[in-house]
Every structure is written in C-alpha cells, then in structure tokens.
Amino acid sequence: MRLTKSFLPTLKEVPADAQIASHRLMLRAGLIRQTASGIYAWLPAGLRVLRNIERIVREEQNAIGAQEVLMPTLQSADLWRQSGRYDAYGPEMLRIQDRHGRDMLYGPTNEEMITEIFGQSVKSYRELPQSLYHIQWKFRDERRPRFGVMRGREFLMKDAYSFDADYDGAVISYRKMMLAYLRTFQRLGVRAIPMRADTGPIGGELSHEFLILAPTGESTVYFDAALEQQDWLAQSVDFHDPESLGRFFKDVTTSYAATDEMHDETAWKSVPADRQREGRGIEVGHIFYFEDKYTRSMGVTVNGPDGAAFHPHMGSYGIGVSRLTGAIIEAHHDAQGIIWPESVAPFKAAVLNLKPGDAQVDEICNRFNQLGGDAVLLDDRDERAGVKFNDADLMGHPWQIIVGPRGAKEGRVELKNRRSGERLDLSVDEAIERVLL
C-alpha cells in the first residue's frame, strides 16, 4: 500500500491532554481521533489493529467451541426491568427514549438479552451446555473517562455467556474460557496474569480478572513470577477432557496472584521472595460464574432428565478489545513510538523509499509493495529521510525495509528490526525471504 494514497495522519506534536504513553501514541500515530469525551473514531491503522485483535479473540473462542452471535447495541428497558437491573445499574447506563416514548438503553453489557434469547430456544437439558459470544460496542457513562481508549465511554468488548445444567458443568465451561483467555493474550503479545477476583455473594473461586503489568495500570497487583514464565500455547490441554482441564486449572491457580482488593498477606508470605512481583496492572479481561442469577430472576428454565424444570447456571466472560489496543502499546513502546507485536501490527513492514524518482530505488520499492500487498506500507512521500524514519518508528511496524540509491545500485537494502534495532544489509531477495515469505 502506498502512503501517498492512504489516510495515515501522524502528528508531530504531543497532544497536551493525553496523560499516558499509549494515549499519546495512538493519537500521534494516527490510530484514533476523539469525537466526544470518551468516544473515539478509529482511523485506518487503528482499525487494522482492532480487527487483528478481534480475529485472534474470535479464533480462540471458536477453538473452545463457543458460538458467535451478534446482539444489538440498543436494548429495551423492559428486559432489564425483568432482571431488576434497570434501576440498580445507576448513572453509568445511557437511557434513551424512542419516538413512542418507550424506554431504551445503549447496552453496557448483555446478560439479560442473551438469557432471553437462550430461554426462547433451549427447552431441554440435552441442549446444554451452550456457550455464546459476540464482539460488540458497549456504552458506559463512566464518571471519569480517561487514558484514551483504556477507559472510554463507548468501547468494544468481547462478551461470552455460558449455560450449563449444574455447577459441575459450569466449572468446565469456566475452565475452558480461562484456557482460551490465556492463549488469546499470549497470541496478542502480552502477559495477562489471571488473578482471583471478588465473587460477591456467590463466593467460591470462579472469578478471575486478567491483568497486564504496566506502571499506568489502575489496580495494584501481587503475583508469583512463575505465572509469567508459562507458555500456554505450548501446553497440550484437551478441552474435551474434564480431567485435563482440571489439571490445567490447578496449575494456573496454585500460584499466588491477586489484586489489592483480594490480597492476602499471609498467603503472599509463602511465595518465595525472589518470585514475588508487585506492581500496577491494567484489567483486560474478567471471567465470572454467577449461578442462576439471571435465569432465575428472568424466569428461564429448561427441563431436566426427570421432566422437572430448572434454572441453568451461567457464567459471563469479557475481554476489553478496544482497551487492549492501548494496553498492548503500554507494554510495547519506547521513546520513539510503538513497537507492535507482529500478530496485531497494522502493517508487517514499512518500505522506506529514500529517493522517490530514482529509477532503481523506485523499482525495488515497487517490487516489495507488490509482493507484500496489504501487509506492506510503502512510504513513497516526497519527504526527507529523517521524516520517514521517525514516522516508521512512531507507527511501530515490526520491520523497516530501507531502500536508498547507493544500495539500490547493487541490488541491496537495509532491513531494520523495530524491536531490537538490529540492522542488516541484505540483497533484495534475502529481504523478501526474511520478511515477506
């Protein structure tokens, strides 16, 4: 793709109101623009990142057998009156009236709606378990929207909901989600540590928040470093086998990890001192089991083997898809800009044409551009080399292929790795092989 034909507006100035690195970099690299407090438009490069995150989230949800649906953003207030949450939710809920004066709302979450959809169609225990998810915009009128997309008012969430016949079934659904989450975050290039979270009146151990370590995080976290060293993608957990899932869950939960709300000093002291990690964390996901809270309050039942009706047990499982864009940048940047993990980068490589108009340089650049297709961004602007270097560093492409007149004469280019800073002098074919094949 040619930069001269793209909409990739970078900013030289540091936006004054952006307090944290990811917010500044998302504005400067042209990923987002604010349109109202806590509400953002996604520009082409930002949307590419968002779509890449969604794709990985989706693949890992599908891999554990969850089914994708798409529920609307607007919901009827009556649905929420059934569960009793319409009044309980408070000022975070955006309440709207339609032209007939009917109360509506912009969904802050979807437990009620999915419970109703499930209840209309599932009548027998034989149709359980079910796990449904969607990736949809939410609105929460946060008291203090801040840090860009990290705490927005309109934000993109993956939310999943499981329905099981009983507690034992719900435990299996929960463990599958935990597995999917750990794999998802690792593929996104971040270490999200699962931490015991508050279960409210339900109790038990089935509530975990996933936090990425970053100095700008809103929570204080304590965890055993053993959790950082695990390779979840290399582990062979059979999600069809409850025992395999059980071993995996034990493995995850025996290491200490808690946010300050759940922190237990006595248990913390038993973690060897050289493995104690304490810091700030950004919450990027939350999984939660809540018995039959919604099926009971909304009167949803299915028939058991004996013909008697019962309320299925549910869990809900969120991932902050748009928040992750910021969180990934918090974990991967330097003074020059973003350093994207390859799995989410808007472009895999930038080709920097240092002398547009030079026949040999243009020819080599065009070759990379054609071969690379959508994965490559060709900087063909009539600008100084310094401007191109700075913009490429700012935008964080994993690779930069630098094509100048001297090297081009000999059919050679420079390949720079954004993360390590390593530079290699390569032939055009070698560079193609390294980056594009």
- In the complex, which residues of this chain contact ligand ATP (CB under 6 A)? 109, 140, 142, 151-152, 155, 157, 283-286, 318, 320, 322-323
Distance CA 329, CA 137 (A): 21
Identify which of residues 286 and 293 has a Cβ nearer to ligand ATP in the complex.
Answer: 286
Cα–Cα distance between 399 and 372 in angstroms, integer? Answer: 12
Closest separation in Å from C-beta 402 to ligand ATP? 37
Closest CA to 284 of 323, 334, 241, 326: 323
Q: Measured from the CB atom, is 76 or 109 closer to ligand ATP?
A: 109
Q: Is 258 helix (H, G, I), strand (E, B) or coil?
A: strand
Instruction: Considering the complex, state which of residue 315 and residue 318 has its C-beta at the smaller distance from ligand ATP.
Output: 318
d(CA 240, CA 374): 37
Nearest distance from C-beta of residue 149 to ligand ATP, angstroms? 6
* Longest CA span, the chain: 82
Query: In whole angstroms, how close is the CB of 408 to ligand ATP at the nearest point?
Result: 46
Of all residues in the shown chain, the one whose CB is closest to ligand ATP is 320
- Minimum CB–partner distance for residue 161 and ligand ATP (Å): 12
Which of 159/379 has CB closer to ligand ATP?
159
> Considering beta carbons, is residue 285 or 346 the nearer one to ligand ATP?
285
Give one DSSP letter per residue of 239-258, joined into a string: TT-HHHHHHHHHHHHTS-EE
| Token couple for 243 | 């025992």
A 10 A CB-CB count for 71 gives 15
Of residues 327 and 361, the one with the C-beta less far from ligand ATP: 327
The 3-class SS string of 16-71 reads CCCCCHHHHHHHHCCCEEEEECCEEEECHHHHHHHHHHHHHHHHHHHHCCCEECCC
DSSP state of 435: I
Q: Which is nearer to ligand ATP, 209 or 391 (CB)?
A: 209
Distance between CA atoms of residues 92 and 143, nearest Å:
7
Closest contact distance (angstroms) between CB of 252 and ligand ATP is 18
Find residue 209's DSSP bridge partners. 195, 286
